Amino acid sequence: MTEQLKLKLNDSKATRWGALVIVAFTMMAAYYVNDVVAPLKTMLETDLAWSSTDFGFFTGGYSFLNVFFLMLIWGGLILDRFGIRFTGKLATILMVGGTALEYYAMTGLAGADATLFGVNEIFGYKTGVFVAFAGYSIFGVGAEVAGITVSKIIAKWFRGKELATAMGVQVALARIGSQAGYAVAIPMARALGLPSPVLLGLILLVGGLIAFFIFSVMDKKLDKQMEEAAIAAGTEGEEEKFSFKDVKNILVNPGFWLIALLCVLFYSCVFPFQKFASELMIIKYGINENVAGTFAGLPALGALILTPVFGGFIDKRGKSASIMILGAAMLIGVHFIYAIPAIDYWLVAIALMIILGIAFSLVPSAMWPAVAKIFPVSQLGTAYALIFFIQNIGLWGIPTLIGKVLDVYCIVGQKADGTNMYDYTIPMCIFTGIACLSLVVAFLLKRADKKYGYQLEEPNIQE
Ligand SMILES: N[C@@H](Cc1c[nH]cn1)C(=O)NCC(=O)O
């Protein structure tokens, strides 16, 4: 009876937070690479002869394999079957490989006449554009699978400990990666050449891969200790495994569909908008191109500070459903004002970016814990994978659509350097329409919460 309790690796605060910082570094590098090309849209036009359609096609590439080849679902299955160490390393290798391909497309295949195996066009796109798209698609699979893997890692290392705080800190660190990508892209590309910010991302990701190998050593040790503890407690073999019954249970839950819909609509108005925002800042508001990316990345910076603050409020006071309504309503206001041609004062553009940052903190800090309230722990991994899958449909479709719309309906002239001038009114009206739909869904979610008792309005911490 007096058997001594053995301390596991994650029982030490310093070690579990150390493990979090290691894997969060990999995600920070992933978010940097995800966003770093966005501010370069105009330079891609001048230096590599990309059109807006090419840029939209490339941007949507992040989600292409995840949506059309169900890579997020396979990734979830691999994660549950082969575990976090194997899947994390595989996902990071995919990110490194995809980014290397993207870098090659922007260097070795730069320009309209570049050929690969004798062809200068693939599926109607310039070879360089297509290879960059292929690289970004592979990167997108790695980034999304790494995202689910890291959620599972945090759940494992922080179960019964500071779980929500750890998730908030990981998202906050990821936002630093995004903001860094937006801020450095143009100045670095101007100083060291167009592909240099992508090369930096590649180096960071190689660092992320090394970090993941270091984490794997720690995790293996933790597994051994957990096994020993489980054998001592007689609970070995009681792991949560992926089951198709779980998928069915999730799909018949109305809460799943409302959260998934809100997720795809809300994020479609944020991430794809940010990809075009640098150009909007330059063309419509006359903001200097060296700082346009920094402003486009402001929502990420705001979210870095505010997500943990709002998370703390929701933990103590609840009101998740109402907060999602507020965030969606703010999104409508922001996009609607961006759409008004007469309002073109630069300070307004920055103020709107800050408001977008607040909405971008409100909704995720309410949405992700809400998923944990609607579904039991055993279904959480699958629920997140399915929600991310649906979200990726928007992350693919919306930039592809906006790129096309810009080329077909929005060219209003040419600048001295030969690049197009765009009127962003129609794209901003599209974003406003999507934001309106997200508000409707947020109201339906609040109604469903009352009907089905998800307790979204209740605090997480019961006093
Ligand atoms: N599934 C990711 C998508 C994403 C976009 N950029 C980087 N990842 C996601 O939604 N993550 C949650 C978040 O709020 O970043």
Q: Are residues 46 and 187 in the same domain?
A: yes
Residue 347 in any domain: the answer is yes
Q: Pick the more confident residue, 141 or 235.
A: 141
Q: Are residues 85 and 193 in the same domain?
A: yes
101 pLDDT higher than 80? yes
Q: Are residues 319 and 440 in the same domain?
A: yes
Element (H, E) at 121: strand 121-122
Residue 131 in any domain: the answer is yes
Give the ranges where 193-253 is alpha helix by DSSP (H).
196-233, 244-251
Q: Are residues 227 and 284 in the same domain?
A: no
- Ligand 1 close to Cβ of residue 396 (< 6 A): no
Residue 5 in any domain: the answer is no
Q: Are residues 213 and 266 in the same domain?
A: no
pLDDT digits (tens, 9 = 90+) for 195-212: 999 999 999 999 999 999
pLDDT of residue 2: 42
323 pLDDT higher than 50? yes
Name, in order, each residue with C-beta under 8 angstroms of 400's C-beta and a sequence gap of 6 or more.
56, 57, 59, 60
Q: Are residues 249 and 326 in the same domain?
A: yes
For 382-391, 431-440, 445-454, which range has the lowest pLDDT when averaged over its residues? 382-391
Give me the domain span that covers residue 311: 243-463
Q: How far is the CA of 143 from the centre of ligand 1 (A)?
A: 9
How many of the other CB atoms lie within 10 Å of CB of 419? 16
pLDDT of residue 309: 84
Residue 377 confidence class, pLDDT cut points 50, 70, 90: low
Residue 2 in any domain: the answer is no
Q: Are residues 255 and 301 in the same domain?
A: yes
Q: Are residues 322 and 462 in the same domain?
A: yes
Residue 137 in any domain: the answer is yes
> Which amino acid belongs to residue 224?
K
Residue 7 in any domain: the answer is no
Q: How far is the CA of 148 from the centre of ligand 1 (A)?
A: 10
Q: How far is the CA of 296 from the centre of ligand 1 (A)?
A: 16
Atom of ligand 1 nearest to the CA of 364: 14
Q: Are residues 234 and 294 in the same domain?
A: no
Q: How far is the CA of 147 from the centre of ligand 1 (A)?
A: 8
Residue whose Cα lies nearest atom 15 of ligand 1: it is: 171
Q: Are residues 257 and 203 in the same domain?
A: no
For the domain that residue 129 is a member of, what is the CATH number?
1.20.1250.20
5 pLDDT higher than 70? no
Q: Are residues 410 and 448 in the same domain?
A: yes
Residue 240 confidence class, pLDDT cut points 50, 70, 90: low
Question: pTM of the predicted model, to two decimals?
Answer: 0.88
pLDDT of residue 282: 95
Across residues 96-107, what is the average pLDDT? 97
Q: How high does pLDDT run on average in the chain?
A: 91
Q: Please tell me the distance from the alpha carbon of residue 302 to that of residue 291, in angstroms, as a whole number.
A: 16
ipTM of the complex: 0.94
Domain boundary among 207, 239, 271: 239
Residue 343 in tokens: 């309002």
144 pLDDT higher than 50? yes
pLDDT of residue 197: 98
58 pLDDT higher than 70? yes
The domain total for the chain is: 2
Atom of ligand 1 nearest to the CA of 267: 10
Q: Are residues 268 and 226 in the same domain?
A: no
Domain boundary among 239, 258, 282: 239
Atom of ligand 1 nearest to the CA of 35: 6
Residue 237 confidence class, pLDDT cut points 50, 70, 90: low
461 pLDDT higher than 70? no
Domain boundary among 239, 272, 302: 239
> Which amino acid belongs to residue 35?
D
